[in-house]
Amino acid sequence: MKTTTISIRHGAMLAILASALAASSSHASDDKALQQAAEKEGQLVVYTANQLESEQDLVAQFNKEYPNIKVEIVRAPGGRLATRIETEVAAGKLGADVIDMSDRGLVEGFKQVFADYSPPNADKYPDSLKDIPNVWPKTVWGFVIAYNAASGVEPPTSWADLTKQKYHGKVATVVANSGGSTWTRALFERKVVSDDYWEKLAANKPVLYPSGAPAASGIVRGEALVGGVQSNSVIPMVREGAPIKVVYPKEGIPVTASVAGIVKDSKHPNAARLFMNWALSEKGQSAWVKNGGGFSVMEGAPLPEGSDASTRIWIPDSKEYTTLRNDWLAQWNKIFGVH
Amino acid sequence: MYNHSTRLSAYRVTWTLLLLAILGFLIIYPIFMLGVGAVSTGGPTASEGQISFNAFLQVVHDPNVLRVTWNTLVVCAGGTIIAVIVGLFFSWVTARTNTPFAKIIEAVSIMPLLIPPLVAGVAWSILGSPQTGLLNVLLAGIGLDVKVNFYTPTGIIIIFGIYYAPYVYMFTASAMKNMDPSLEEAAAISGVSTFKTIFQITLPLILPAIIAGSMLSFVVMLGIYGIPATLGTPERYTVLTTYIYELLSSAPADYNRAAATSLILILVTALAVIAQQQVLKGKSFVTVAGKAFKPRRIDLGGWRYVTFIVAVIYLFIAVVLPMGALLIGSLRKFLYLPNAAAVFDMSAYSLGHFQRLFSNSLTTLSLVNTLKIGVTTAIAGGVLSFVLAYTIYRTRLPFRRLIDIISTLPIAIPGLVIGVAYIWAWISLPGGIYGSIWILSLAFVARFIPDTVKSLSTSLLQVHSELEEASLICGRGRLYTIKKIILPLIAPGLISSMSLLFILAIRELGSSLFLYSSKSLPMSVLLVNLYEGGDFGVTAAFSVVQTAILVIVVLFTTWLGRTMSIAK
């Protein structure tokens, strides 16, 4: 197992760096040196838009391998995190070593804070997500459909099913402008599922929720019986025995790929690098998919429990994501009668 | 004589300037930054921002804003009416009647205040959801074909009313306790009936407390997000705070329009304060004068059981139901309750969520941080608010009306918005304050000046100036007079204000959101992070822990206030 990991890393290094040939012979010892330097620093601070407990689980897996590095987490949703980062950067008081944002559009405003960084296995990550330099899809999560299994409701198999008469008044829907990932979901619904999906869903009188958490708990409580919810909150709930089940709808899963990088003036640059290398490695990505309820866009990464090769991940076009946002959200609000 | 008065006026001017400087730093400067944020693209700290008034024009021209403002006024006015009726009833019952168990009723009646609005909203959505609400499940379980639905404007009004009745109660209770009963006695001797006495003597005497309490609860309701978000969204009922939240969720967050919309709230608040000043102008509400008195309790006869039963019913609705919902949520693995029998299925209950909560290292960290922040906020804020309230209500210093208005403004700004104002304003403070717990204390002191100043005002307005004048004439200095006369007289009010401040500091979320660091994480932020993660059981368990801490604090300060009360 160990040798395979190392050989994958070799390949990656070769592909990325011109100096890889010279470096590769001493690669294993480089890893050792990085670990030692990181352990000397002893800690790092991560600013993340991932769910808190989900990130804590990931850190716990990291600490199994590197118990001497304490990872402190500041967690906030994307918009709030961006405001905080921009203000701290302007005042020269950025407190983060690693930043893990959810919303690509928001990172544009402060992409200069990231240090030059690519993980050893950089070539395993899709080129479409390399439009912003130095940041990587550390944590990817998406909207799946959950249904209340205890209620005996017939499980849907697709997003289109949610517009059927039999689910009238029983669909949980998070308002589209709750955040970046709900916008991704709405964009997916209209671009991939069908042009008039919003109108059809609105006509089915869904129960609206202000954010993902009450929607998931609404389905658990049976207030709504089916609906799209975030995988990283709902899959861990299923594992703990919630009376719900997850469906990977056949049209695909609209995902939000996080935008994570190391901060330029980081006080713990080696610890930050070690954490990022690990999180983006096969081990880190498997831990994230298994424990965090997420997906991975890394080549050869495992799929979450219950999904199979036919499960498709949908990543929005970053241009459309930004340019359509305000207009389409206003239309969404109108169609669903939010105000 | 000439020398004396110039010295005095120099002292007066310095004092006024000092207070204005403090308020300027704590309140005006952050609001100013918010104003800058409203007219500059990219926020006030952006290097290449531009000035633009588009946001204001957009807000003014948006027909949605008008409707949303109307919705807001409807639920807040309705909520205030209920809060005043309930709050007054309770302060009268506990302070002025011989209703049995008055002390217990008193301690329990402010409990709704201990639950953060978001948690209260969640608790009531568990209880009052039209299909699966616990109340509906139980009603169906006992064979009643009645459905309650709290996902309505009426639902929001009722919860607002229940939730903010303690505000009115806290204000009016100290006024009722410190009231000289001689007027009521005179009425009783002249053969005026008990109910006539209440409406013609008692109520008019405590009018300033009623007005202060109702104005404050109205203005606080304007800025609450958690309750309308959880109860209004399913039925698409939008108020200003949920509208602002939406603006902040767009990418990048639209602080321009959010700040511009918040100005509507600030304007309404300023108008409310001015209205209050006009109503109270030229009236005297002195009930504590130089004469000794003993507050009189009205003997209600058989009616005291009626008041007792009404109190119990209210407490059941306001405290037992939501706390019960939280307890059930924290003890059950999952909250799927298809029928009444499921509620009583004991095998589904366990302490698992509590174990999980305390196995998280952040829980203890946040507990310790929050207690530190709560204590420092209560002390620093209590002192500052006393100084402000004394200046506003007991002196003739210049600009005291202005001080009054400024010190009421923060309340109108929704927490979500003021949080960003604080980070914009204070991030450059020297000495590592940003990132430590001190910046959170600073924010809470600033944010809750209105609540504490107003709650102290009722105690101060009642103390007749003859008591102070007597001391001053006898040659005692003002500080000595304050220490020996004023402080002992208003000690119960001061203690209850500080405990209110402690409660608010522990609950406060909005102003913490941008200011905490990984080391200064407070409970409220951890709570909302757990909530946003969708883990309802742990969130409920944490709410129960938080409420338990606050209950202990309240019981302690109630006891402390009573031992310090001059009535004893």
Between positions 28 and 67 of B, the ones with CB within 8 A of A are 42-43, 45-47, 64, 67
Q: Which residue has the tokens 């790929």?
A: A257
pLDDT value of position B143: 83
Between positions 483 and 522 of B, the ones with CB within 8 A of A are 513-514, 516-519, 521
Number of Cβ pairs closer than 8 Å across A and B? 167
| Least confident residue range of A114-123, A206-215, A287-296, A302-311 | A302-311
| A84, two tokens | 């905080």
CA A29 to chain B, closest CA, distance in angstroms equals: 33
Cα–Cα–Cα angle for A63, A67, A69, nearest 5°? Answer: 85
| B458, two tokens | 């009722």
Beta carbons of B469 and B427 less than 8 angstroms apart: no
Between positions 178 and 207 of A, the ones with CB within 8 A of B are 178-180, 183, 207
Cα–Cα–Cα angle for B75, B543, B505, nearest 5°? Answer: 70
Nearest chain B residue (CA) to A45: B518
CA proximity to B241, closest of B156, B172, B306, B308: B156
> Which residues fall within 8 angstroms of residue B153, CB to CB, at 6 or more apart?
B71, B74, B75, B78, B232, B237
- Preceding omega of B228 cis (within 30 degrees of 0): no
> Which residues fall within 8 angstroms of residue B488, CB to CB, at 6 or more apart?
B564, B566
B475 dihedral zone (left: phi>0; alpha: psi -120 to 50; beta): left
Judged against a pLDDT cut of 50, whether residue A15 lies above it is answered with no
Distance CA A74, CA A80 (A): 11
Judged against a pLDDT cut of 60, whether residue A25 lies above it is answered with no
Q: Do B517 and A326 touch (CB under 8 A)?
A: no
CA–chain centroid gap for A30, Å, is 29
Cα–Cα–Cα angle for B69, B71, B73, nearest 5°? Answer: 70
Q: Do B336 and A222 touch (CB under 8 A)?
A: yes
Residues of B in contact with A329 (CB under 8 A): 250
Q: Cβ of A78 under 8 Å from any chain B Cβ? A: yes
Distance CA A119, CA A297 (A): 14
Q: Do B233 and A175 touch (CB under 8 A)?
A: yes
Nearest chain B residue (CA) to A91: B428
Helices (H), B332-448: 340-343, 352-359, 361-394, 400-406, 415-426, 437-447
Q: Cβ of B358 under 8 Å from any chain A Cβ? A: no
CA A88 to chain B, closest CA, distance in angstroms equals: 7
CA distances from B41 to A104, B37, B53, B192, B257 (A): 19, 7, 10, 66, 10
> Which residues fall within 8 angstroms of residue B147, CB to CB, at 6 or more apart?
B130, B136, B139
Q: Do B249 and A326 touch (CB under 8 A)?
A: no
Of A51, A91, A209, the CB nearest to B427: A91
CA proximity to A42, closest of A267, A281, A277, A276: A267
Chain A interface, mutation test: which of B236, B439, B513, B532, most A Cβ atoms within 10 Å?
B532
A42 dihedral zone (left: phi>0; alpha: psi -120 to 50; beta): left
| A41, two tokens | 């620093």
CA proximity to B83, closest of B217, B268, B220: B217
What radius of gyration, in Å, describes the C-alpha atoms of chain B? 24
Q: Helices H, strands E: what count in chain A?
A: 14, 11
Question: Which whole number is the average pLDDT over A296-311?
Answer: 86
Residue ranges of chain B whose pLDDT lies below 50:
1-5, 567-568
Model confidence at A20, pLDDT cuts 50, 70, 90, reads very low
Query: pLDDT tens digit string along A47-86?
Result: 999 888 889 989 999 999 999 999 999 998 888 888 889 8
Distance CA A85, CA A88 (A): 5
Q: Cβ of A53 under 8 Å from any chain B Cβ? A: yes
Q: Do A87 and B532 touch (CB under 8 A)?
A: no
Strand partners, A145: A228, A247
Residue type, B110: I
pLDDT value of position A227: 96
pLDDT value of position A17: 44
Q: Helices H, strands E: what count in chain B?
A: 29, 0
Distance CA B549, CA B537 (A): 19
Provide DSSP, B96-139. HB--TTHHHHHHHHTGGGGS-HHHHHHHHHHHH-TTT-HHHHHH
Model confidence at A6, pLDDT cuts 50, 70, 90, reads very low
Model confidence at A5, pLDDT cuts 50, 70, 90, reads very low
Q: Cβ of A152 under 8 Å from any chain B Cβ? A: no
Of A53, A83, A175, the CB nearest to B533: A53
Distance CA B254, CA B246 (A): 9
Q: What is the DSSP letter of A120?
A: T
Distance CA B378, CA B500 (A): 8
Query: pLDDT tens digit string along B376-388?
Result: 999 999 999 999 9
Domains delineated in chain B: 2-39+62-346+353-564 (1.10.3720.10)
Domains delineated in chain A: 2-139+258-292 (3.40.190.10), 141-255+310-335 (3.40.190.10)
The more confidently predicted of residues A197 and B111 is A197
Q: Do A221 and B337 touch (CB under 8 A)?
A: yes
Q: Cβ of B252 under 8 Å from any chain A Cβ? A: yes
What phi, psi does B516 have (nearest 5°)?
-80, 155
Query: pLDDT tens digit string along B102-115?
Result: 888 887 777 888 88
Q: Do B534 and A213 touch (CB under 8 A)?
A: yes
Residues of A in contact with B134 (CB under 8 A): none
Q: Cβ of A300 under 8 Å from any chain B Cβ? A: no
Distance CA B240, CA B222 (A): 8
pLDDT value of position A3: 36
Distance CA B113, CA B504 (A): 9
Per the prediction, chain A carries an average pLDDT of 87
The more confidently predicted of residues A39 and B3 is A39
Q: Cβ of A48 under 8 Å from any chain B Cβ? A: no
Of B362, B519, B533, the CB nearest to A51: B533
pLDDT value of position B291: 58
Of B230, B255, B529, the CB nearest to A52: B529
Q: Cβ of A216 under 8 Å from any chain B Cβ? A: yes
CA B71 to chain A, closest CA, distance in angstroms equals: 11
Helix B153-177 with B63-96: angle, nearest 10 deg: 40
Between positions 92 and 131 of B, the ones with CB within 8 A of A are 122, 125-126, 129, 131
The more confidently predicted of residues B487 and A1 is B487
CA B363 to chain A, closest CA, distance in angstroms equals: 12
Helices (H), B448-535: 449-462, 465-473, 478-481, 487-507, 523-532
Model confidence at A296, pLDDT cuts 50, 70, 90, reads very high
Q: How far apart are the first and last CA of chain B?
A: 42
Q: What is the ipTM of this complex?
A: 0.81
CA proximity to A146, closest of A208, A211, A229: A229
CA A74 to chain B, closest CA, distance in angstroms equals: 5
pLDDT value of position B47: 55
pLDDT value of position B44: 63
